[in-house]
Amino acid sequence: MEVYRGKSVFQGVAIGRISLYRKLRRTVYYNIADPAAEYERFLQAQKTALDDLAVLHKKVLTEVGKSEAEIFEVHQIMLQDPDYVGSVEDMIKTQMINAEYAVAQTNENFFSRFSAMEDTYMQARAIDIRDISERLISILAGDNDNHPGAEEPAIIIADDLVPSEIMQMEREKIMSFVMVHGSVNSHTAILARTMGIPTITGVDMVLEEELDGEFAIVDGNTGYIYIKPNEEIIFTMQKKLQTEINNKNLLQAYKNKESVTLDGRSVRLNANIGNLHDLTRALQSGAEGIGLFRSEFLYLEKDNYPSEEEQFQAYRFVVEKMAGKRVIIRTLDIGADKKINYLNLKEEENPAMGLRGIRIYFKHPQVFRTQLRALLRTAAFGKISIMYPLITSVEEVMQIKRMVEEEKENLEKEHISYGELEQGIMIETPAAVMIGDLLAKHVDFFSIGTNDLSQYILAADRQNPLLDSFFDVHHPAVLRAIEQTVQNAHNAGIWCGICGELGADRELTKRFLKMGVDELSVSPENILPLRKLIREMNTQEFKKAPEK
Ligand code: PEP
Ligand code: MG
């Protein structure tokens, strides 16, 4: 038996086989001596890719349908495109560079050319260019398995994972995540928690091929992973798993109860979701509404912008499923660790303080306006609220609200029905806290994003695992910021919730209730334990701990 320990991201025991997650290799550059042989190597890879695509085409044609299979025909044609192949040949022969690098360079040139085209059909072909190029590079580099995730339910072990990689995996195939690198405050960690997957990170282990398929047990509570566990560990962990299942069943008694304390203080307990999968779990967990739908995950799970219609369908689905309960959709929050390649944003020196959140709306207004149209159309079918991330000024709020009005006018002109929606903002920058009184006059509610708020108040990058010990979310500065925000909201007659991870921190629940927090929005798995705690709590018995 081998035992490793990392940091717990989400509790729970997982018992199963390991699936080693392999990333696509980076394209290395090297000079070659024999260009003819190198070009021949490229032609061989092209042939293998064509054969693979033919197999895929046939499989999808018989198992799914004609229109779904067509894409593989398109890829076969593109792989033989004389311009594309000619560019690779030319680079290999004139610049004496390796085939992988020539493919990567050709991909970049073609990708930007296609992305810049007016015609949306041609723009979409940029993604196909990247697809065929990645296929070629993968074959040239000798990778024979580049599908994200596992074939069967498994414990996924990876060096690290970014949110888009997780979003492209099949939820049913993930028993647990184990990562060598990564912070407990990153979006990868938040996603794992939202999905309720036992997860550990910072596990100092060498990812050798032999691990693939090996039997293992992950204990998300303690951060341990046992590889080839002995009888005793298997027995103990099976018992622990059973206890977890029993506890979960006991908590079901709280599903339809109110979230009210013994002394009569009530709070809304809502769920945070990232996609439609999470919605089922939110409903099962007895959420009183959706307090944060991270809409960017609709963008992250795709290779191209989700259209207005696709978004409208997704939002409408959520609203209808929640049947009259409040649904708060956070508008696109891309940037920092949440990257979408098709937006073609430049690498930044300091992405957490970079072009992210609402800042992107002003640089790429069309992306935001498309989302706004989908949201306004959804509002015709049920009550929705929207909120804007990373606000730092009143002017930003005014500018965004003007865009909302303009999109209403556009829909009106096009005779497309839409509804009114509540507009709130996330309070997640120190600037927003400090001018909370001014901001509160322009919006319907505040939702405190404690993840970013803590990172900016404490000057500690939430992505950096070396700073986990500095990321003290109980720091008095963070707690004072929350209290001040609640007061500013209430003074202006609006409500204030917490949707960051701190909302689920049971050590602080009583304190939040005393502050007057109106809503706690947490991952679905946290709702029932919190409700139980709240129902057994008397806030009159609260004694504020001395500030550190
Ligand atoms: C936050 O910052 O607390 C938040 C809820 O948003 P995200 O974690 O998605 O940045
Ligand atoms: Mg945030």
Q: Work out the average pLDDT over 494-508.
A: 97
Confidence of residue 62 (pLDDT cuts 50, 70, 90): confident
Residue with tokens 């500095």: 470
Closest CA to 197 of 449, 523, 464: 523
- Residue 498 Cα to ligand 1 midpoint, Å, equals 10
- Which ligand sits nearest to residue 501's alpha carbon? 1
Distance of CA 240 to the CA centre of its chain: 29
Q: Work out the average pLDDT over 215-235.
A: 95
Q: What is the pLDDT of residues 395-445, one digit of tens each?
A: 999 999 999 999 999 999 999 999 999 999 999 999 999 999 999 999 999
Confidence of residue 10 (pLDDT cuts 50, 70, 90): very high
CA distance 548 to 540: 23
Closest CA to 517 of 543, 535, 494: 494
Mutate to test the pocket of ligand 1, among 275, 426, 471, 519 (most ligand atoms within 8 A of CB): 426
Residue with tokens 């680079």: 91
- Which ligand sits nearest to residue 453's alpha carbon? 1
Express the helix, strand and coil content of the chain in percent, nearest 5 each: 50, 15, 35
Closest CA to 23 of 155, 179, 213, 127: 179
**Which residue puts its alpha carbon closest to atom 4 of ligand 1?**
449
Mutate to test the pocket of ligand 1, among 185, 190, 448 (most ligand atoms within 8 A of CB): 190
Q: Determine the atom of ligand 1 nearest the C-alpha atom of 336.
A: 10
- Residue 348 Cα to ligand 2 midpoint, Å, equals 18
Q: Helix 120-140 crosses helix 99-115 at what angle (to 10 degrees)?
A: 170
Q: Quick check: 146 pLDDT over 50?
A: no
Q: Quick check: 504 pLDDT over 70?
A: yes
By the 8 A CB rule, do 496 and 490 touch?
yes
- Residue 471 Cα to ligand 2 midpoint, Å, equals 15
Ligand 1 site residues, Cβ closer than 6 angstroms: 190, 292, 294, 333, 428, 449-452, 499-500
Q: What is the pLDDT of residues 505-530, one digit of tens each?
A: 999 999 999 999 999 999 999 999 99
Residues counted in the chain: 548
Q: Determine the atom of ligand 1 nearest the C-alpha atom of 499.
A: 5
Q: What is the pLDDT of residues 338-363, one digit of tens each?
A: 878 777 778 888 888 999 999 999 99
Dmax over CA atoms of the chain, in Å, equals 82
- Residue 67 Cα to ligand 1 midpoint, Å, equals 38
Mutate to test the pocket of ligand 1, among 167, 194, 293, 333 (most ligand atoms within 8 A of CB): 333
Could you count the other beta carbons within 10 Å of the beta carbon of residue 65?
Answer: 10
Q: Determine the atom of ligand 1 nearest the C-alpha atom of 502.
A: 3
Q: Determine the atom of ligand 1 nearest the C-alpha atom of 294.
A: 9
What strands lie across the sheet with 2-5, from one edge to the other?
A: 2-5, 224-227, 215-219, 13-20, 154-158, 174-179, 199-201, 7-10
pTM for the full predicted model: 0.74
Closest CA to 148 of 308, 324, 19: 19
CA distance 371 to 383: 17
By the 8 A CB rule, do 423 and 386 touch?
yes
AA identity, residue 532: K
Q: What percent of the chain has pLDDT over 70?
A: 94
- Residue 281 Cα to ligand 2 midpoint, Å, equals 22
- Residue 390 Cα to ligand 2 midpoint, Å, equals 7
Q: Quick check: 148 pLDDT over 60?
A: no
Q: Quick check: 63 pLDDT over 80?
A: no
pLDDT at 67: 63
Q: Work out the average pLDDT over 165-181.
A: 86
**Which residue puts its alpha carbon closest to atom 1 of ligand 1?**
449
**2-5 and 224-227 beta bridge pairing:** antiparallel
Going along 238-351, which residue ranges are E strands?
268-273, 290-294, 327-330
pLDDT at 6: 94
- Which ligand sits nearest to residue 523's alpha carbon? 1
Q: Strand, coil or helix: what is 217?
A: strand
Q: Which residues form the catalytic set?
A: 187, 499
- Residue 451 Cα to ligand 1 midpoint, Å, equals 5
Mutate to test the pocket of ligand 1, among 187, 452, 453, 473 (most ligand atoms within 8 A of CB): 452
- Which ligand sits nearest to residue 330's alpha carbon? 1
For the chain, how many helices (H) and strands (E)? 20, 16
Q: Determine the atom of ligand 1 nearest the C-alpha atom of 449.
A: 3
CA distance 364 to 340: 13
Q: Work out the average pLDDT over 242-270.
A: 93
467-471: long-range contacts at Cβ-Cβ below 8 A with a sequence spacing of 24 or more?
A: 467/183, 468/7, 468/183, 468/184, 468/185, 471/183, 471/185
CA distance 43 to 27: 18
**Which residue puts its alpha carbon closest to atom 3 of ligand 1?**
449
Give the Å distances, CA to CA, from 123 to 306, 371, 373: 13, 19, 21
